[in-house]
């Protein structure tokens, strides 16, 4: 096979730009339209209870627009990661509606459409940048055998094919269709832009002549700035100096001397950033730490796994269960771990003939290097491999396809490229709907990996949020079978059992969570709530106070402690804790309801009515707020207003038996006996032996007969 040849004269660059002006416009239009065709459905997707909650819609620093909240992400790590630019992007997307409406008060409610739109737009930007990178590379290193410009595919069209692979390969669905994948898409787009501008800098620098172009420093400055921004988005961008060195060394045959000045700055930045993130980010502690001798084999196994998914992207999911201990337990680790090493040696010995393939392989592996398991990272407790980790590394496969297409005659390249890309497009279109909502997402995850602790525990949590505790409990039990010492799963299972009235079992799981993590503030609070329901108020107070000792700013602990204090008649102390809960979380609707109940117990109906109304402003769909407001209005004999709120309460929650009964008494007091009977009968239909309902029904019948005799 012929050697690669550098392109040095202007005529050699013609294939990269051959065609008229309309063709130059058509290529980016095709890239945009095809990418949108695959990913436009995600604009209607919901948030997922899979990091989206932690990152966005339950992120306490996004719930109110303030400079202090924004600066928090730059001062401190959030959830163990120092990625300030990513969380700044989240904040801007969450707060955007407040700028449009000029409404800066109240709680911010993030709109998933904005976040999904941002992901798709950034992915489109990445696709266009990949195209320009490939055009630049192919223009400098025309493939051997591609000497007849009229018979082979124009290099810009070949680059377009490579960019399409980057755009629509099914492995790209995870980072683009997932709101929490924003960090990967943002870092990827910035990293690709940095690569593009650095290669532009090298291209200008390597032009013949002794005069330095005046814009050369601007090109390098732009590339370096983009590199720094990529690091602020995700620390894995530290590998960029190696990637750009590989591409420049192959595309322009740059020696170390040619790049030492420019790359030394990037390497220094990478080292400084690595030390900074290691200092500010907490260390990763895995249940199983693989020995150092095994880590290269685990990394090789991961590379082989990714290569298999690139070639045959089937059974894609969020959790492959390929943990270090699972990989080490399999007898074929030596084979899977060493195959990539053997492939690397082959590419090295054939580098003169396969320099392009070695470069692409290098880009792919280096792009994955931070998440191959050579250094432990947190997600390894579930799996070493994940689709989102391939986002930047996909530049390597894109280069392989572009190079291959550029060597083929037009008809073969067009036919082969259309078939391959068409199949990937269909597979991606099939994969996108799995990311629509949390239940669909985790049900699919269990189809891919039935032993996914991650899927079982999260699906159980989502089912509890939907009120399906009975359906959630088996998933929590299965999650605990897979990971018995998960404090969060014990906590969530305890909550589901508690809501079903199984208090002893619930208390057992709360205690298990505290056995595993004695400083688990939420477990103390939940245990306190369960104990209070069993009348053990002193023990409940102790656990709520312990939760506040561990986490003084825990608004829910203040609220629940206040509830117990109010039940014990200690209203002054209760009011202090309710007020503190609302100071810490002004959007805490349940705290408004509870303080309203406490005021009502003290016959302070005006104050109670104010807090119930505030709760409804924050959560208009709260059946409890409507019912309690109706109760206060009833105490003031405002029957028609009380009727309206009781009616809304039972509309929002048709199984709200107490609201049905209260509404029946209000209707009976207004002489509407038939409607009153209906609501009592609804309660008896749900609870046939409900004693209070039968007594109220007898009272309604008596009043109805009395009205007839008058």
Structure tokens, 212 = 């330095």
CB of 572 within 8 A of CB of 536? no
Does 689 share its domain with 623? Answer: no
When mean pLDDT is compared across 142-156, 230-244, 421-435, the lowest value belongs to 142-156
State whether 59 and 121 are in the same domain. yes
Count of all residues that appear for the chain in the document: 710
Same domain, 236 and 347: yes
Query: Among residues 126, 65, 121, 60, which one has the least CA distance to residue 96?
Result: 65
- Average pLDDT estimate for 640-669: 92
* Nearest CA among 552, 496, 502, 495 for reference residue 529: 495
Classify residue 571: in a domain, yes or no.
no
What's the DSSP call for residue 255? -
pLDDT digits (tens, 9 = 90+) for 437-452: 999 999 999 999 999 9
In a domain, 398, yes or no: yes
Span of 93-97, 143-147, 525-529 with lowest mean pLDDT: 143-147
Q: Average pLDDT in the 120-136 region?
A: 97
**705 and 610 within one domain:** no
- Whether 507 and 527 have beta carbons less than 8 Å apart is answered as yes
Give 78's strand partners: 81
402-417: average pLDDT: 86
**Whether 603 and 665 share a structural domain:** no
Which of the four pLDDT bands, split at 50, 70 and 90, describes residue 197? very high
Residue after which a domain boundary falls, among 574, 602, 637: 637
Q: How much is the pLDDT for 291?
A: 87
Q: Is the pLDDT of residue 275 over 80?
A: yes
Beta-carbon contacts of 47 under 8 Å, excluding residues fewer than 6 positions away, are 53, 56, 57, 110, 112, 115, 179
pLDDT recorded at residue 101: 57
pLDDT tens digit sequence for 486-514: 999 999 999 999 999 999 999 999 999 99
More confident residue, 696 or 11: 696
Question: Which of 18-22, 55-59, 121-125, 649-653 is least confident?
Answer: 18-22
Residue 166 pLDDT grade (very low, low, confident, very high; cuts 50, 70, 90)? very high
Residues 598 and 705 in one domain: no
* CA angle in degrees (0–180, nearest 5) for 55-225-192: 70
Q: Residue 97, class by beta-carbon neighbours within 10 Å (0-12 exposed, 13-18 middle, 19+ buried)? A: middle
Residue 523 has pLDDT above 50, yes or no: yes
Range of the domain at 599: 587-637
Lowest-confidence region among 86-95, 190-199, 668-677: 668-677
**pLDDT tens-digit readout, 280-309:** 776 655 667 888 888 988 999 999 999 999
> Are 482 and 453 contacting, i.e. CB atoms less than 8 angstroms apart?
yes
CB contact at 8 A, 524 and 554? no
Q: Mean pLDDT across the stretch 411-432?
A: 92
Is residue 529's pLDDT more than 90?
yes
Do 382 and 331 have their domain in common? Answer: yes
Q: Contact 172/184 with Cβ under 8 angstroms? A: no
Structure tokens at 477: 């039990």
Residue 210 has a pLDDT of: 56
Do 261 and 146 share a structural domain?
yes
In a domain, 95, yes or no: yes
Q: Which of 8-12, 289-293, 514-518 has the lowest mean pLDDT?
A: 8-12
Same domain, 397 and 355: yes
How far apart are alpha carbons 628 and 596 in whole angstroms?
A: 8
* Mean local confidence (pLDDT), 580-592: 88
Query: Do 507 and 478 contact (CB within 8 A), yes or no?
Result: no
Give the residue from 637, 671, 697 where a domain finishes: 637
**Strand (E) positions, 270-316?**
none
Q: What is the DSSP letter of 388?
A: G
What pLDDT is attached to residue 708?
61
Residue range 373-402, pLDDT digits in tens: 998 888 999 999 999 999 999 999 999 999
Residues 6+ apart with CB under 8 A from 93: 110, 114, 115, 118
Percent of the chain with pLDDT strictly greater than 70:
91
Q: Are 120 and 39 in contact (CB under 8 A)?
A: yes
Q: Is a pLDDT exceeding 80 seen at residue 11?
A: no
Pick 22 or 576 by higher pLDDT: 576
**Would you tell me how many other CB atoms lie within 10 Å of the CB of residue 656?**
22
Residue 418 CB contacts under 8 Å (≥ 6 apart), including other chains: none
Q: Both tokens of residue 425?
A: 């497009």
Written as one string, the DSSP assignment of 139-158 is HHSPPTT---TTTBPPHHHH
* pLDDT(8) > 60: no
Confidence class of residue 371 from pLDDT cuts 50, 70 and 90?
Answer: very high
- Please indicate, yes or no, if residue 708 is contained in any of the structural domains: yes
Q: Is residue 575 part of a domain?
A: no
* Domain contains 556: no
Burial class (CB in 10 A: 0-12, 13-18, 19+), 468: middle
User: Are residues 152 and 124 part of one domain?
Assistant: yes
Higher pLDDT, 224 or 588: 224
- Is 592 in the same domain as 709? no
Number of domains in the chain: 3
Q: What is the Cα–Cα distance from 201 to 187, expressed in whole angstroms? A: 21
Better-predicted residue by pLDDT, 60 or 472: 472
For residue 667, pLDDT beyond 80 = yes
Give how far Cα 509 sits from Cα of 212, 477, 498, 590, Å: 70, 11, 10, 25
Q: Among 86-95, 254-263, 280-289, 614-623, name the most confident range.
A: 86-95
Write the pLDDT tens digit of every residue in 224-248: 999 999 999 999 999 999 999 999 9
Among 597, 612, 637, the domain boundary falls at: 637
pTM of the model: 0.82
Is residue 179 a contact partner of residue 55, using CB atoms and an 8 Å limit? yes
Work out the burial of residue 2: count CB atoms within 10 Å of its CB; fewer than 13 is exposed, 13-18 middle, 19 or more buried.
exposed
The verdict on 664 and 620 lying in the same domain is no
CATH of the domain at 622: 1.25.40.10
Q: Within a domain: residue 112?
A: yes
Cα–Cα distance measured from residue 97 to residue 316, given in angstroms and rounded to the nearest whole number: 34
What pLDDT is attached to residue 6? Answer: 39
The answer as to whether 648 is a domain residue is no
């Amino acid at each position: 096979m012929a050697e690669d040849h550098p392109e040095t004269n202007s005529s050699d660059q013609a294939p990269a730009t051959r065609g008229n002006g309309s063709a130059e416009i058509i290529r980016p239009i095709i890239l945009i339209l095809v990418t949108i065709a695959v990913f436009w459905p995600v604009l209607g997707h919901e948030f997922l209870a899979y990091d989206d909650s932690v990152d966005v819609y339950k992120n306490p620093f996004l719930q109110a627009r303030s400079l202090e909240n924004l600066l928090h992400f730059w001062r401190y790590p959030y959830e163990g990661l120092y990625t300030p630019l990513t969380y700044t992007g989240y904040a801007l997307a969450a707060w955007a509606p407040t700028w449009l409406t000029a409404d800066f008060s109240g709680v911010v409610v993030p709109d998933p459409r904005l976040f999904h739109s941002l992901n798709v737009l950034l992915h489109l930007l990445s696709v266009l940048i990949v195209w320009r990178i490939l055009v630049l590379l192919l223009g400098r290193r025309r493939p051997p055998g591609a000497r007849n410009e009229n018979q082979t595919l124009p290099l810009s069209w070949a680059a377009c094919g490579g960019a399409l692979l980057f755009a629509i390969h099914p492995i790209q669905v995870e980072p683009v269709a997932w709101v929490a994948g924003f960090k990967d898409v943002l870092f990827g787009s910035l990293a690709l832009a940095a690569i593009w501008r650095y290669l532009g800098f090298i291209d200008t620098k390597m032009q013949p002549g002794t005069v330095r172009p005046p814009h050369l420093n601007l090109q390098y400055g732009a590339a370096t700035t983009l590199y720094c921004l990529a690091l602020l988005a995700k620390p894995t961008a530290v590998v960029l100096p190696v990637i750009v060195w590989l591409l420049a060394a192959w595309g322009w045959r740059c020696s170390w001397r040619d790049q030492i000045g420019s790359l030394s700055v990037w390497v220094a930045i990478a080292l400084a950033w690595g030390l900074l993130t290691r200092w500010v980010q907490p260390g990763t502690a895995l249940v199983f730490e693989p020995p150092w001798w095994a880590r290269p084999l685990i990394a090789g196994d991961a590379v082989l796994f990714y290569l298999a998914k690139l070639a045959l992207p089937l059974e894609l999911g969020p959790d492959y269960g390929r943990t270090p201990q699972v990989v080490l337990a399999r007898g074929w680790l030596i084979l899977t771990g060493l195959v990539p090493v053997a492939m690397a040696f082959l590419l090295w010995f054939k580098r003169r003939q396969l320099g392009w393939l070695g470069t692409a392989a290098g880009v792919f592996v280096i792009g994955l290097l931070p998440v191959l398991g050579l250094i432990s990272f947190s997600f390894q407790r579930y799996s070493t491999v994940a689709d989102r980790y391939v986002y930047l590394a996909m530049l390597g496969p894109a280069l392989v396809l572009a190079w291959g297409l550029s060597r083929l005659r037009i008809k073969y390249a067009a036919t082969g490229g259309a078939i391959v890309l068409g199949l990937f497009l269909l597979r991606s279109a099939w994969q996108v709907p799995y990311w629509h909502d949390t239940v669909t997402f985790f049900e699919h995850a269990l189809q891919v990996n039935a032993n996914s602790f991650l899927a079982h525990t999260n699906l159980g949590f989502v089912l509890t949020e939907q009120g399906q505790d009975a359906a959630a409990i088996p998933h929590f039990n299965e999650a605990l079978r897979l990971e018995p010492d998960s404090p969060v799963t014990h906590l969530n299972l305890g909550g589901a059992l508690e809501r079903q009235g199984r208090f002893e079992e619930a208390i057992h799981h709360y205690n298990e969570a505290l056995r595993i993590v004695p400083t688990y503030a939420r477990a103390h609070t939940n245990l306190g709530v369960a104990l209070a329901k069993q009348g053990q108020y002193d023990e409940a107070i102790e656990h709520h106070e312990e939760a506040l000792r561990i986490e003084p700013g825990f608004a829910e602990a203040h609220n629940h402690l206040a509830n117990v204090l109010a039940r014990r008649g200690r209203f002054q102390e209760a009011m202090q804790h309710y007020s503190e809960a609302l100071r810490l979380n002004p959007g805490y609707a349940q705290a408004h309801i509870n303080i309203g109940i406490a005021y009502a117990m003290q016959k302070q109906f005006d104050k109670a009515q104010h807090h119930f109304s505030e709760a409804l402003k924050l959560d208009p769909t709260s059946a409890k707020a409507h019912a309690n407001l109706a109760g206060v209005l009833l105490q003031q004999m405002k029957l028609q207003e009380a009727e309206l709120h009781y009616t809304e309460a039972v509309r929002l929650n048709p199984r709200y038996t107490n609201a049905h009964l209260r509404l029946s008494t209000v209707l009976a007091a207004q002489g509407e006996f038939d409607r009153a009977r209906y609501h009592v009968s609804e309660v008896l239909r749900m609870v046939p032996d409900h004693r209070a309902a039968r007594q109220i029904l007898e009272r309604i019948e008596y009043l109805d007969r009395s009205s007839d005799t008058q």
